[in-house]
Chains A and B, each alone.
Chain A
Amino acid sequence: AQKVTQAQTEISVVEKEDVTLDCVYETRDTTYYLFWYKQPPSGELVFLIRRNSFDEQNEISGRYSWNFQKSTSSFNFTITASQVVDSAVYFCARGTGRRALTFGSGTRLQVQP
C-alpha cells in the first residue's frame, strides 16, 4: 500500500505561534492528488486544499500555506499566527484517479490561548 505518513501525532502551541504539520507520501503514480483536511471535534471533514502532482507551486491562503516538494515526497502545511479556532485534527491524504483517498494518521493540533 502506498502510505501517507504524518509523523507528528500531537502538537501543542501557544496562540500566535507559527506551526508546521508534516506530511510525507509514497507513490508509484505519475499523476496523483494531495489533500489536507481539518477535522474539528464535530467530526465533519473540512476541505483545505487539493494539489495536483504536476503543480509544485506553493500556495498561500490567508494564514495557511502549503509547501509541496516532489523531490522529498512531502506536502507540509503551515499555519501562521495560530489561533485557538485552529485546534483540530489535521489529515493529509493522497488520491489517484477516481479511487478512494488514502489518509495519514492525522496530527492533533492544540492551540493554547
Chain B
Amino acid sequence: GAVVSQHPSWVICKSGTSVKIECRSLDFQATTMFWYRQFPKQSLMLMATSNEGSKATYEQGVEKDKFLINHASLTLSTLTVTSAHPEDSSFYICSASTSSNPNNEQFFGPGTRLTVL
C-alpha cells in the first residue's frame, strides 16, 4: 500500500525558534498534500492544502506567514513553524493523495509531535 512518512516523529524546541517538518510519499507521487493539526484530546483540523508546484491554500485562521508550506516535488512537502511559541505545541499530521488514484484515497503520515518550551 501507499506509505507516507514524516520526519521528525517528535521535536522539542525553544520558543522563538523555527522548526521544519517533512512529509514524504515513499512509493507514489503525491500531487496533493494536506496538513492537519491536532491539539491534545481534540480532533484533527485542516491547516492547509498544498498542490505540487503551487502555493498552499490555508484554512481560515491559519497564519500563512507563520506556517510556511512548501511542496516543491511530487514526493515531499514541508511545514515550517516559524518563531514557534508554546501555543504551537501540537501533533501535526500530513496526508497525501495522487490524481492518478481513481478512488481519491488519502494516506496519512504517522504524525510529528511538536513541543515548544
Interfacial chain A residues near B105, Cβ < 8 Å: 50
B43 at the interface (CB under 8 A from A): yes
Contact-residue bracket for chain B: 20 to 34
* Docked complex Cα distance between A24 and B35 (Å): 24
Q: A33-B104, A95-B104, A97-B104 are known contacts. Are A104 and B113 too (CB-CB below 8 A)?
A: no
A43 at the interface (CB under 8 A from B): yes
Interfacial chain B residues near A83, Cβ < 8 Å: none
Classify the interface of chain A: helix, strand, loop or mixed: loop
B62 CB to closest chain A CB (Å) equals 12
18 CB contacts below 8 A, A to B, read A43-B110, A43-B111, A44-B110, A45-B93, A47-B108, A91-B43, A91-B44, A95-B106, A98-B32, A98-B97, A98-B104, A99-B49, A100-B36, A101-B46, A101-B106, A103-B43, A103-B44, A106-B42
10 smallest CB-CB distances across A and B, nearest first, come from: A44-B110, A100-B34, A100-B46, A45-B108, A103-B44, A43-B111, A103-B43, A105-B43, A106-B43, A98-B104
Known: A33-B104, A102-B46. 14 other contacts (CB 8 A): A37-B108, A43-B110, A43-B111, A44-B111, A45-B93, A45-B108, A50-B103, A97-B104, A98-B97, A98-B99, A99-B49, A100-B36, A101-B46, A101-B95
